[in-house]
Amino acid sequence: MTAGRAAIVEAPSTISVADVEYGDPGPGEVLVRLTATGLCHTDLGVLAGGIPFPVPGIIGHEGAGHVEKVGRGVTAVSPGDAVLLSFTSCGGCRACATSHPAYCDSWLPRNLLGGIRPEGSAGITRGGEAISAHFFGQSSFGTYAIADERALVRVADDADLTVLAPLGCGVLTGFGSMWNVLDPGPDDVVAVYGAGAVGLSAIIAASLRGPAQLIAIDRVAARLDLASELGATDTIDASREDVAARLAELTGGAGVSLGFDTTGHPGVARTALDAAAVRGTVLVCGAPPPGTEIAVDIQGILTGKVLRGVTMGDTEPRELIPRLVALHAQGRLPLERLERRYALDDIQSAVDDMHSGATVKPVIVY
């Protein structure tokens, strides 16, 4: 057993930091000594009780650190390797075999519900009592994580793991959704609804493609200012402006060819769909509670509009994360502009600051 500390979700809206014990990694597993972990809106969804992860348990899914031990059969990494942690997948279904692991046949139980574990998987205990873990194949809100080999991406030994930690989910999702799925060209009008970590990452990705217009929409003025600095050509403050009217004005009534709703709010998705151009596409992500529905006017979509969902940017982490690391090294992915660091004992402050919009991407540093 390895002694450590972790933030444990005890019940909805209740998180505490306690001493825990990590078992030795089982087959296909790796014990990672964590340097930092990003805080993501999906974590907030679990904490709020909107995602049915069993509690008490450890969440967190943007880990970064160094390999401490490897279990039987692990070949991709060795002790001492620097790694970033992302989501896990089975590796054997059709989606995984065709480089779409975010649509793995068993993605939901492997990542969100903690229901599928490798045979002989290691556990985490508190005072001898087992607690839930394996969130996104890692549960990284602690000083260590027992992670699936498939959840790891090796990076250079001298990589700044604290800065790069959010690549595992939020940045991966935003950048990948824009880069892989929407794929804007020079004639496109792009609108990003929500300028949090996912939305700002999407704006960075879109700006690299040079669309005709790139519009950021949010309710926090500071985030809109940052969106402008990161490439947005126009911004809309939803707290004081009529979003639909402003979009019509900015597009000359033609509408938005590519919309990306990062908020998970059905009302925002409906606004995006109404604002879409003829044959326009609206992409939605986020983790609202199960059963959340988007109202759709059928007459309104007969002009060829497409409403599409996306998970994790439809990415293969082992392909996209190294590209994102390279873009950061080139100064084209300024992650530092999004981040603020917190100690593990201050994780509740990080949660509060993310809720309020004071911090775009909290990073827990161990």
pLDDT digits (tens, 9 = 90+) for 182-224: 999 999 999 999 999 999 999 999 999 999 999 999 999 999 9
For residue 12, being part of any structural domain is answered with yes
Shared-domain flag, residues 197 and 297: yes
For residue 326, being part of any structural domain is answered with no
Model confidence band, residue 93 (pLDDT cutoffs 50, 70, 90): very high
Which CATH number is 112's domain given?
3.90.180.10
User: In this structure, what token pair is assigned to residue 299?
Assistant: 């007459």
What is the residue type of 6? A
**pTM for this entry:** 0.93
Shared-domain flag, residues 42 and 164: yes
Q: How many CB atoms lie under 10 A from the CB of residue 312?
A: 25
Shared-domain flag, residues 146 and 186: no
User: In this structure, what token pair is assigned to residue 333?
Assistant: 């992915």
- Enclosing domain of residue 235: 171-311
- Using the CB atoms, write b or e for 245-256: b if 16+ within 10 Å: ebbbebbeeebb
**Model pLDDT, residue 41:** 87
Shared-domain flag, residues 10 and 132: yes
For residue 316, being part of any structural domain is answered with no
Shared-domain flag, residues 231 and 92: no
Tens of pLDDT, residue by residue over 97-124, are 999 999 999 998 889 886 667 676 778 9
Shared-domain flag, residues 204 and 348: no
SS3 (DSSP) at 294: coil
Which CATH number is 184's domain given?
3.40.50.720
Q: How many CB atoms lie under 10 A from the CB of residue 327?
A: 17
For residue 304, being part of any structural domain is answered with yes
DSSP for 307-356, please give it: EEE-SGGG--HHHHHHHHHHHHHTTSS-GGGTEEEEEGGGHHHHHHHHHH
Tens of pLDDT, residue by residue over 136-174, are 999 999 999 999 999 999 999 999 999 999 999 999 999
Shared-domain flag, residues 97 and 158: yes
Tens of pLDDT, residue by residue over 247-264, are 999 999 999 999 999 998
Model confidence band, residue 301 (pLDDT cutoffs 50, 70, 90): very high
Q: What share of the chain is helix, strand, coil (3-state, %, to 5)?
A: 35, 30, 40
H-run or E-run covering 364: strand 361-365
For residue 318, being part of any structural domain is answered with no
**Model pLDDT, residue 22:** 95
Shared-domain flag, residues 194 and 135: no
DSSP for 246-288, please give it: HHHHHTTTS-EEEEEE-S--HHHHHHHHHTEEEEEEEEE---P
Shared-domain flag, residues 156 and 273: no
Domain count, the chain: 2
Torsion over CA of 57, 63, 66 and 68, rounded to 10 degrees?
A: 20
Shared-domain flag, residues 103 and 56: yes
For residue 142, being part of any structural domain is answered with yes
Shared-domain flag, residues 140 and 180: no
As a whole-number percent, the residues of the chain with pLDDT over 90 amount to 84
- To the nearest 10 degrees (0 to 180), the angle between helices 266-274 and 243-250 is 30
Shared-domain flag, residues 131 and 64: yes
For residue 325, being part of any structural domain is answered with no
**Model pLDDT, residue 256:** 98
For residue 91, being part of any structural domain is answered with yes
SS3 (DSSP) at 18: strand
**Model pLDDT, residue 12:** 87
